[in-house]
């Protein structure tokens, strides 16, 4: 008989910090994937987006595969604008949400 998930976890403990880091990395990859898929849905190549943004194609590739959490807001705004959209940021505050269109 095989090993259950619970038994496997007991034999191979993982710290909460490691789980949080893995979760954050996975979420970041999902966000990058979503940006890439949005570009493709617009029928645009990375080269076309780079021309619209005024940057090199490698920068667009970095946006779509890199650390999205560390992107400058202006870079993300220009990327979204190159796709024909508007970047909106919502701040969730105790007294309510504030939506910013950039």
Strand partners, 96: 93
- Quickly list H helices, the chain: 5-11, 16-41, 46-53, 57-65, 73-82
CB 80 within 8 A of CB 64: no
CA–CA separation, 69 vs 76, rounded Å?
A: 10
- Across 37-41, 62-66, 72-76, 86-90, least confident range: 62-66
Strand partners, 92: 97
Domain annotation for the chain: domains and CATH numbers:
5-101 (1.10.260.40)
Whole-prediction pTM value?
0.75
pLDDT for residue 2: 86
pLDDT for residue 43: 98
Per-residue pLDDT reduced to its tens digit, 13-58: 888 898 899 998 899 899 899 999 999 999 999 999 999 999 999 9
Q: pLDDT band at 67, cuts 50/70/90?
A: confident
């Amino acid at each position: 008989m095989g090993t259950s998930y619970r038994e496997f976890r007991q034999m191979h403990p993982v710290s909460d910090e490691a789980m949080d880091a893995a979760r954050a990395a996975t979420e970041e990859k999902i966000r990058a994937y979503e940006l890439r898929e949005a570009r493709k849905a617009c029928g645009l190549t990375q080269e076309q987006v780079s021309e619209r943004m005024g940057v090199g194609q490698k920068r667009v590739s970095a946006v779509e595969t890199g650390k999205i959490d560390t992107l400058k807001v202006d870079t993300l705004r220009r990327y979204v604008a190159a796709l024909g959209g508007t970047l909106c940021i919502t701040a969730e505050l105790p007294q309510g949400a504030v939506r910013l269109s950039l």
